[in-house]
């Protein structure tokens, strides 16, 4: 039990206003340390306008390549970035851009004399034929020139009206010839075909028919094959009848197929005799097979029994040798026992004689 507090001690308690003490040194806010800049990471800021100017003429060359952007030292996915090549404006693109800018200047009506002069210079450039154009553009221009020459030589009245109509074989051949000439002009080197376009179209049509309705085509083919085989049999029969009627059957040489059929007819009686005997032979062979299998099992069982008997003989021989050793040991112990018994009896008789003498003396 704690002692009760004396009421006199209550006066010592300070009842004045509370005073809060503060530090004279102001607290300094601790800022986060600045992030360390790594030399391995590129954090350069690129402005959009400068980026457009920088990458305006860049073109990716390997669109189908697998690229690894992880930045690992050992790249497992191919390249670590896309391959880029610089492409600049072609002469035709430059002329088109200049022409568009001239049109814009015309609309603004600034220095009309200079604009007209630049326009004349541009028209002169467009009119020249010494522009550095690409190989494909030259080929296309040559093709269009050839087409325009052929179109100018045609008579519009000879051209039939467009519509759903079937072309004749001559028209198809003419179109193929023109297509071949165009291919030679353009220079299609990778396209090699041993068949004509008409043959390819017919082949594809047949394949599509088989794919869409194979059962109908197969049944139709089977029916046609059966019909042809039946007609061939009838023709062969009629031919043989005609040969027999004219008497030149033996004179005319037969075909290999007829020779094979004749040989089969020659051995047909022997085959019929064999058909009566073969089932019995097959059943006899099956029974002999079972007998041979049972004999094999019996032979294996007898061999196992022989092995068992041989092992028993060896064990019995071992037992006989052990019994002989036991009998020899028993005989030896019996002889020793008899000798010991005689010695013991002699000692007992001596003790008895001494006892008798002692009793007599007393």
pLDDT band at residue 328 using 50, 70 and 90 as cut-offs: very high
For residue 129, the Cα-to-chain-centroid distance in whole angstroms is 56
The pTM score is: 0.24
| Lowest mean pLDDT, pick from 94-98, 295-299, 317-321 | 94-98
Instruction: Flag whether pLDDT at 113 surpasses 90.
Output: no
Instruction: List the beta strands (DSSP E) in the chain.
Output: 58-60, 84-86
Buried b (16+ CB within 10 A) or exposed e, 152-182: eeeeeeeeeeeeeeeeeeeeeeeeeeeeeee
- pLDDT beyond 60 at 13: no
Helices 169-186 and 197-212: angle between axes, nearest 10 degrees: 110
Please report where in the chains the tokens 């297509």 appear, as a residue.
179
């Amino acid at each position: 039990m704690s002692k009760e507090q004396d009421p006199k001690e209550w006066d010592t308690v300070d009842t004045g206003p509370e005073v809060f003490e503060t530090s004279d040194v102001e607290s300094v806010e601790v800022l986060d340390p600045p992030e360390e800049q790594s030399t391995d990471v590129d954090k350069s800021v690129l402005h959009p306008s400068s980026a457009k100017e920088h990458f305006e003429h860049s073109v990716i060359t390997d669109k189908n390549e697998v690229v690894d952007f992880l930045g690992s030292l050992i790249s497992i996915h191919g390249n670590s970035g896309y391959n880029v090549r610089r492409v600049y404006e072609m002469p035709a693109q430059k002329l088109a851009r200049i022409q568009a800018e001239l049109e814009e200047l015309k609309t603004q009506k600034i220095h009309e004399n200079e604009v007209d002069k630049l326009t004349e210079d541009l028209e002169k450039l467009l009119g020249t034929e010494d522009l550095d154009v690409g190989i494909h553009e030259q080929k296309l221009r040559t093709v269009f020139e050839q087409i325009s020459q052929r179109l100018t030589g045609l008579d519009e009245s000879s051209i039939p009206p467009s519509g759903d109509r079937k072309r004749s074989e001559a028209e198809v051949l003419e179109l193929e010839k023109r297509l071949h000439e165009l291919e030679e002009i353009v220079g299609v080197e990778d396209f090699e075909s041993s068949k004509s376009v008409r043959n390819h179209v017919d082949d594809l049509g047949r394949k599509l028919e088989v794919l869409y309705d194979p059962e109908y085509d197969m049944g139709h083919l089977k029916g046609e094959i059966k019909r042809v085989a039946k007609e061939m049999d009838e023709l062969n029969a009629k031919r043989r009848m005609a040969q027999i009627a004219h008497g030149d059957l033996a004179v005319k040489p037969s075909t290999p197929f007829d020779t094979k059929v004749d040989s089969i007819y020659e051995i047909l009686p022997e085959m019929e005799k064999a058909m009566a005997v073969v089932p019995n032979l097959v059943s006899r062979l099956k029974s002999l097979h079972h007998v041979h299998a049972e004999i094999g099992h019996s032979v294996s069982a007898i061999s196992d029994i022989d092995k068992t008997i041989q092992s028993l003989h060896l064990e019995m021989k071992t037992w006989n040798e052990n019994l002989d050793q036991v009998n020899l040991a028993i005989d030896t112990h019996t002889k020793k026992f008899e000798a010991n018994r005689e010695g013991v009896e002699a000692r007992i008789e001596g003790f008895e004689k001494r006892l008798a003498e002692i009793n007599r003396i007393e």
